[in-house]
A and B are shown apart, each in its own frame.
Chain A
Amino acid sequence: MNELKELYLAFVRIGAVTFGGGYAMLPILERDLVDKRGWTTTEDLMDYFAIGQCTPGIIALNVSTFIGHKRKGTAGALAATIGFLTCPILIILIISAFLTNFADLAVVKDAFAGIRVCVCVLILQAVLKLWKKAIPDKTALALYLVIFLVTVFSSLLLFRVPAAVLVIAAGVFGVLFRTAKEGNKA
């Protein structure tokens, strides 16, 4: 029970500060869950993010469910995910009830223009940290570049390629490429 409470509270904290669509939460997850608590590894986090791209729901939520499940099975998954949702739900309930013009307030706009700058740095740090582990060779680098460019310039392409399709294609490529390579060696 104590461990479930700990899981819940850890994700309440993370849910309170996950600005910018889930990716900025990576450095926070690293700090709180990998370094401090040892609940998961950087490699696992990366895998969760990849899988989260091709399943329904918000990535941050998927990652909470994964880590909760790894710690304490189904109960852990529920504790972590509900923990993650607690602050966003409370905040919107308060805004809906009292602050209908919340997003128009000058002070809110200023604060979040500042936070967005921090989110840029957090995401850059996440990328730098993951780089070595995710991209061990030139083939992986090429794969990275293709997916990065297609995603960034998707608005210029003739049709939008959904992220899920890219991720699934990358997984299939991994299986084919590694199988061929390891087959040659054997």
Chain B
Amino acid sequence: MIYLRLFLEFFKTGLFSIGGGLATLPFLYEMSDKTHWFTHADIADMIAVSESTPGAIGINMSTFAGYITGGVPGGIIASLGLAAPCIIIILIISKILDIFRSNPYVDRAFYGLRPASVAMISAAGINVVRIALVRLSALENGPDLLRFFNWPAIVLAAAIFIAQKKLKWHPVIFIALSAAVGIVFHFGSL
């Protein structure tokens, strides 16, 4: 029963990949060796696709692997398998939090958790900046600051930042506009 196997294999991946996103990769490579549902090259391709679509790599890989092994139902079942452990665990935590939310110790834990949360978000931001706004390759032959900064991208970022403050449009509008600017000015080859 291919659907059941797809569900179970991706359920296991979902259960053990803590921290999401790229944490699923080692499990995907292992699954590729074991099941031959997809190749290592497929995983590399899916990393690229995941950078260009809204979904996370794990969900994308499960949809892709499910689709090539079991068609459209396979794609859906594999993705639900990946998401299921996450949903179950968060439901349990939610119910526990409901009970203990007024406990002073929970409150104190959040005093430490909140700066940690913002620190992780900042670090994720640095990772995107490294790809989107600067070129680390410019530092290889001595510092070349003119080439280090991706000036058109920085101008776009500043424009979005200011426009967002002044206009208060929905963030989705800025995402769409940035895509358009990227296409018109060929940001992919800057």
Contact = CB atoms under 8 A, between A and B. Distances in A.
A3 to B, nearest CB: 17
B37 to A, nearest CB: 12
Interface of A: 15-23, 26-28, 31, 43, 46-47, 49-62, 65-66, 69-70, 74, 77-78, 81, 85, 87-89, 91-93, 95-97, 102-104, 106-127, 130-131, 133-135, 140-141, 143-148, 151-152, 162-164, 166-167, 170-175, 177-179, 182
Given A58-B58, A77-B94, A88-B63, A147 B121 contact: no
Nearest to A101: B45
A162 to B, nearest CB: 7
A96 to B, nearest CB: 5
- Max chain B C-beta neighbours (<10 A), residue from A69, A96, A152: A96
Given A47-B110, A91-B53, A127 B85 contact: no
From B45, B156, B157, B182, residue with most partner A Cβ within 10 Å: B182
Contact of A93 (B58, B67, B80, B153): B67
By size class, the interface of chain B is 35 or more
A112 B113 contact: no
17 contacts: A17-B171, A20-B128, A31-B171, A50-B120, A62-B20, A65-B87, A65-B91, A77-B91, A85-B59, A91-B54, A96-B75, A116-B131, A130-B121, A144-B115, A147-B120, A163-B120, A171-B109
Interface in B84-105: 85-87, 89-91, 93-95, 104-105
A51 B93 contact: yes
Nearest to B172: A17
Which of B68, B124, B164, B186 has the largest number of chain A CB atoms within 10 A? B124
Nearest to A63: B90
Interface stretch (B1-9, B10-18, B28-36, B139-147): B10-18
Q: Which 9 A-B pairs have the closest CB atoms?
A: A114-B182, A174-B112, A57-B86, A88-B55, A109-B188, A113-B187, A170-B116, A178-B108, A103-B48
A166 B64 CA distance: 33
B129 to A, nearest CB: 5
A19 B115 contact: no
A69 B94 contact: yes
Contacts of A18: 54
Contact of B17 (A56, A127, A133, A182): A56
Nearest to A29: B171
Interface of B: 14-21, 45, 48-49, 51-56, 58-60, 63-64, 67-68, 72, 75-76, 79-80, 82-83, 85-87, 89-91, 93-95, 104-105, 107-126, 128-129, 131-133, 153, 156-157, 160-161, 164, 170-172, 174-175, 177-183, 185-190
Nearest to A87: B54
Contacts of B53: 19, 88, 91-92, 95
B91 A69 contact: yes
Given A49-B120, A57-B90, 4 more contacts: A46-B114, A62-B90, A123-B122, A134-B117
Given A57-B86, A65-B87, A102-B49, A112 B125 contact: no
A106 B181 CA distance: 14
Given A51-B93, A62-B86, A78-B87, A17 B54 contact: yes
Nearest to A116: B132
